[in-house]
Chains A and B, each alone.
Chain A
Amino acid sequence: MATASPPQPAQDSETSRPVRRPASTSPVRSFLQARGSGAAGDHAFAVTVMLCACSVLAVVVLVFGVLLVHSRLSLRTLGLHFFYSGDWDPVHGSFGALPFLFGTLATSAIALILAVPLALGVAVFLTEMCPLPLRTPLSFLTELLAAIPSVVYGLWAIAVLVPLVRDRIGPPLQRTLGWTGFFRGPNFGVGLLTAGIVLAIMVLPVISSITRDVMRAVPVAQREAVLALGATRWEMIRIGVLKNARAGIVGAVILGLGRALGETMAVTMVIGNHPAISQSLFAPSYTLASVIANEFAEATGDLYVSALIEIGLALFLVTIVVNGVARALVWAVTRNSATGARA
């Protein structure tokens, strides 16, 4: 009934009174008005949408507020010491977040170093070079990677990746790159490197699928224009596509980074959970999210619980700072290119 009724009044107004109608109201307008749509509806819609947007802000403010209130005790007792002390000793009431900050940033950095080139490769292949019959299954598979729960990644990592890093990947790295200091010391298969690799696999689909969408949004005319100037395919992708999609690609990387910073389960299962700062990527480490997941349930004592909540606050701040830096980077890059183009 709802589908049948609309054409009738439209047809009616077209045939019977196209000339007598004042110029200000179109037939569509009058049809919509007849159905009860108007200024009130518009306003209601605007308010609803604004409330939706504000709810996001409210959630962020609430989370921040609760973290701040509950970590008050630790903030007051430990002060700034909390952020640069490396000692985490619940028995003696000494709490320092530095090893966790290090672990979080280091695993995320490893993940991005591994995942970004791979994700760009996947996206470029899918948008520019992939034979059509392959495109849908390949896109589907990369997106499927994003749907796998992180605990499954963790189990897979324990069963497959840990022995692989211990017996196959670790030893050659130690032989060839041991002199750098990044691949030294005993290698038990769990540690920064393994956690970084798992994270890389987890952020890969996020980065590659968004990058693919951004690249697809680059107008075909851009590509054709570059090709018409005699560019090769690689030059076309570099100048016509990647350069135009730059801001969007950085946005995709930021989203991936967000997932890497906060990922808990899979990382906890393979990072070794030892709060120490080591140059070697084979060494066990610890992340902010992991220590909360590990110790919160059994934490006794007000300062201990408060310190764990402050860890949550630290994770919140790290995410904001890293995102802010990344946004600033995008802004700097796009501004430079804009002035360059004008000059």
Chain B
Amino acid sequence: MRSERHRLKLFRMLRTCAVALFATGAVLTTSACKHRSAASTGRAGSINAAGASFPYPLYSEWFSRFDKEHPGIEINYQPIGSGGGIRQVSDGILDFGASDGPMSDAQMAASKVKVLHVPTVLGAVVPVYNLPQIGGELNFSAGTIAGIYLGTIVRWNDPQLVRDNPGIPLPEHEILPVYRSDGSGTTFVLTDYLSKASQVWRDRIGRATSVKWPIGIGEKGSEGVSGMVRQSPYSFGYVEMNYAAQNGMNYGRVQNAAGEWIRASTENVAAAAAAEQDSIPADFRVSITNASGAGVYPITSFTWLLIPVTPKSATNGRYIRKFLEWMLKDGEDLAPSLHYAPLPVPLRQKVLASLTALQS
């Protein structure tokens, strides 16, 4: 019996020892892991960036190419949306941000860090629609697009649409307007254009990443809007040009300020930036929708990187600066292949010169 007790005690002691050993082992391994991960971050380093999702396909292509040519630091870009990009850059969380709309004066004033706006490429918003048995491209003016979303143009054979589209047998069917339900730069660019080109729109709705739509249905993301339009006969919506082009969607022509009907392409979108070149301010915070001049597509906008003037670390600052210079020289030429419009060459020089404001 005594031996039994001894055995029990021994067993308990052994168990305690085992637990202690296991615990120390676990602690040692975790600390070793920590050491290893610390070493790896020390070796490579990373830059955290986040913001607009519209230029994300191009940015990720840029970052991976640049990383291959200049190994060492990795840029992590998260497409969390322009609003999130502005917020996180202002709070000093990110190495740099990105936005489809420039920061407002109030946002600049509220920001904890001084931010430089660097335009990267241009995007365009195009009207998409689903009209069974009608081929060809329809013409839309600011007046008809605003009318469709305000509910003043209810049917496809509305006199205004018929006037803009001579010879096309438009059906007497109700239009289903589809809009982006999530806050988005795409909505901002469209409403900015409509606010400039339509008095009624400016007074009733205004411009923002999400607005109060009087009628219609909202769908989340470009894929939501295009999916709904594709699926629902007699619907009308808007998506980014590169999204429509990559998915082989047919899209309409839009009347520009000179009265021409223009179907968006990377050339006539870049032409809008070239046409507005002289009116672009030194900080590049400008809206170029409804640009004047011939041959330009009117619903276009820059998209920007938001670079804090004082970098989080000198190494990161130098790397970001190097990337921006590479982007303006080599990166821009990659843009058309992904259906983004590159900056006009004179503008690239201007942007390059503005980089001297960055501290290193």
Asked if A297 contacts B182 (CB within 8 A), the reply is yes
**Which of the residues B5, B12, B104, B181 comes within 8 Å of A268, measured between beta carbons?**
B181
Q: Is B323 an interface residue when CB atoms closer than 8 A count as contact?
A: no
**Do A5 and B11 touch across chains, with their CB atoms under 8 A apart?**
yes
Tell me, in angstroms, the Cα distance from A90 to B81 when the chains sit together: 17
Closest residue of chain B to A17 (Cβ to Cβ) is B1
Quick check: B211 and A5 within 8 Å, CB to CB? no
Least Cβ distance of A99 to chain B in Å? 11
B123 close to A (CB within 8 Å): no
In the bound complex, what is the Cα–Cα distance between A1 and B10 (angstroms)? 12
Whether A273 pairs with B219 at a CB distance below 8 angstroms is: yes
> Chain B 262-297 against A: per-residue CB contact (8 Å), 1 yes, 0 no?
000000000000000000000000000000000000
B8 and A274 within 8 A (CB): no
Assess whether A175 is interfacial by the CB under 8 Å rule. Answer: no
Chain B residues contacting A290 (CB-CB under 8 Å) are 181
Complex Cα–Cα for A36 and B13 (A): 12
Given contacts A188-B232, A300-B86, contact A294 B8 (CB under 8 A): no
List, in ascending order, chain A residues with CB within 8 A of B189's CB.
Answer: none
B15 to chain A, nearest CB (A): 9
Bound CA span A216–B12, Å: 43
- Chain B min CB distance to A73 (Å): 14
Interface centre among A9, A284, A294 (most CB of B within 10 A): A294
| B183 in the interface (beta carbon within 8 A) | yes
CB nearest to B206 among chain A residues: A91
Q: How large is the interface on B (under 10, 10 to 19, 20 to 34, 35 or more residues)?
A: 35 or more
B227 at the interface (CB under 8 A from A): yes
Neighbouring A residues of B176 by C-beta, 8 Å = 186, 188
Among A158, A299, A300, the most chain B Cβ lie within 10 Å of the Cβ of A300
Cβ–Cβ < 8 Å partners of A35 in chain B:
8, 12
Q: Which residue of B lies closest to A13 (CB)?
A: B1
Is B84 at the interface (CB under 8 A from chain A)? yes
A contact residues around B107 at 8 Å (CB): 300
For residue B212, CB closer than 8 A to chain A, the reply is yes
Are B210 and A298 in touch, CB under 8 angstroms?
yes
Within 8 A of A (CB), among B194-251: 205-213, 215-220, 224, 227-228, 231-232, 235
* Known contacts A269-B224, A298-B209, then 16 further A-B pairs from the complex at CB < 8 Å, ordered by chain A residue: A1-B11, A5-B7, A9-B8, A87-B212, A90-B210, A91-B205, A162-B231, A189-B231, A269-B219, A294-B181, A294-B183, A294-B220, A297-B182, A298-B183, A300-B86, A300-B107
**Which 6 A-B pairs rank lowest in CB-CB distance, beginning with the nearest?**
A298-B183, A273-B218, A273-B181, A298-B83, A272-B217, A91-B206
Chain B residues in the interface with A (C-beta under 8 A): 1, 4-5, 7-8, 11-12, 80-84, 86-87, 104, 107, 174, 176, 181-184, 205-213, 215-220, 224, 227-228, 231-232, 235
